[in-house]
Every structure is written in structure tokens, then in C-alpha cells.
Amino acid sequence: MNNHEIDFKLHGDDMQFVEVELDPQETVIAEAGSLMMMEDQIKMETIFGDGSSSSDSGMMGKLFGAGKRLLTGESLFMTAFTNEGYDKKRVSFASPYPGKIIPMDLSELGGKIICQKDAFLAAAKGVSVGIEFQRKIGTGFFGGEGFIMQKLEGDGMTFVHAGGTIHKKELAAGEVLRVDTGCLVAMTSGVDYNIEFVKGVKTALFGGEGLFFATLKGPGTVWVQSLPFSRLASRVFAAMPQNGGSSDEGSIAKGLFNLFNDK
């Protein structure tokens, strides 16, 4: 085993947090800003990259690891939490928005997971957090998650978060699943990922589901979310009062009043 073997417990339902139990000298890495609480004698240290062995080999290795994170739109830094006491200690990390935390044992998933760029939450020290370049140009331009996705490699525990309800789908060899591009959370490395244009002009323009969707071809495992953060954010923004006014849903009379009042 190259990774620290950590124990964990999930708490909550829609606004979850994960409690990680660390033995003496065990370390967990996490995204900056994800800490919820921690017990005494846990040392918190800001590090370049992900703290894996590949990024510990000199300054160039650390800069390369940090640069990979910058390409995915994440911070240059991560935070390492190490138990420096003599007993078991606990540290907890919270989801940044309503949804679920998915614990993944990379040793049972082929040692590699590909996920959307903002899905990673925390992992045992030794898990490598890198980038995955999509081979196909269409995937890069229209994939919804950009040309680059995150790649989690190793043989330890990692925690991924996503919005709404999470559905895990096992794809047989040759089985195809079409997913809204924003709803794709993660997949194992054996899944073939491509982008298809929605057929039919009327469907594309008036269907309300966007012009493209992801086509996933097995074999492998796929995780799908019911509420992408971008969809949640757009609904919240649309419901916000405009020009500093109050928001009264369903008030047709007020809308007509505002229309004539602007003349």
C-alpha cells in the first residue's frame, strides 16, 4: 500500500460532512477551505500540489503538481492534516453545497478515477490529484466540464462530492448511457467518454436540455448527479430581485406595473 489507510464516517443527508479518523502519523489531504472541525494534536499544513510521492521529489516536482491543479481551475495549494498525537484523532470536511459525498476506494476501482474538475474533496495522503486530457476535440469544447478533468490515482480512500442525489451506474461492455454534460460526476478509466450533438433542430433549440450531451460507453462504473451546481446557481440567480427590488413570485400585476413604469 502506497497510501495512508484512513477510516471514515459520513454524517448527514443532504448537507453531508465526512469525519476521518487518523491513527498517529497518518495524514489526509483536502481542498483548501473544506475543513469543518478537527481535534487537538492534528497539525494543519499548506502544501503545493497533492502531497503524493510524485510531488515530493524536489521543488520541480512540487511546482509541477501545483501547476496541474491550476489547469483544472483549483487553488495552487492543498491542506494536509496529520495526527501528531499518540491516540486516534478525528478531522471533518464539509460539502461546499447541498449534495452527497461519495467515498471511493481506489484499490477497488482499478487505481484511477476521472471526475469533474471541482468534485474532489479529500483523500488519504499518497493519492495523486492530477489532470486528465480528453482525447477528442468535441469533448473538450462542448463537454460542459472543459477540456481538462481531474484524475485521482492511487490505492487509498478518496472523497468526491456532487449535487443533489447521486446515482451509481454499472455499464457492461458496449453498453451506452447518454447523460446531460453537467450531470456527469465521475467514471472509471475504462469508460469511453464522448460528446454528441442533440439530433433535430427543434429539439436542440427548444428542448431546454442544451445542444450537447455526454455519451458514456462501457465497460465501467459511472456516477451521475441530479443537481449540478451550475444548474442550481442559474436558478438562484434567476430568482434574485433585479435592480435592488423585492422578488414576488407569480405577481403578474407587479410585472405589468413595472413594464409601464419604465416607459
* pLDDT over 90 percentage in the chain: 43
Could you say which architecture CATH assigns to the domain 7-231? 4-Layer Sandwich (3.60)
Question: How far is residue 208's CA from residue 11's CA, in Å, rounded to a whole number?
Answer: 35
Distance CA 116, CA 11 (A): 23
pTM for this one? Answer: 0.78
Instruction: Enumerate the domain spans of the chain.
Output: 7-231
**Phi and psi of 179, rounded to 5°?**
-135, 145
Q: What is the percent of the chain where pLDDT is above 70?
A: 66
What radius of gyration do the chain's Cα atoms show?
A: 21
The dihedral built from the CA positions of residue 143, 152, 73 and 131, taken in this order, carries a sign that is: negative
Burial class (CB in 10 A: 0-12, 13-18, 19+), 22: buried
> Once rounded to an integer, what is the mean pLDDT over residues 68-85?
74
Phi, psi of 72 (to 5 degrees): -85, 5
Q: Measured between alpha carbons, how far is 35 from 6 in angstroms, rounded to an integer?
A: 17
Residue 24: is the preceding peptide bond cis (ω within 30°)? no
- The per-residue pLDDT for range 179-238, each reduced to its tens digit, is 887 888 999 999 998 877 766 545 445 544 456 778 899 999 999 999 887 776 677 777
| φ, ψ dihedrals at 58, nearest 5° | 85, 170
121/123 Cα distance (integer angstroms):
7
Q: How confident is the model at residue 45 (pLDDT cuts 50, 70, 90)?
A: very high
> Would you state the pLDDT for residue 111?
94
Is the pLDDT at 71 greater than 70, yes or no? Answer: no
Confidence of residue 256 (pLDDT cuts 50, 70, 90): very low
What's the average model confidence in pLDDT over 127-133? 81
Q: Give φ, ψ of 262 to 5 degrees.
A: -85, -10
Q: What is the pLDDT of residue 89?
A: 96
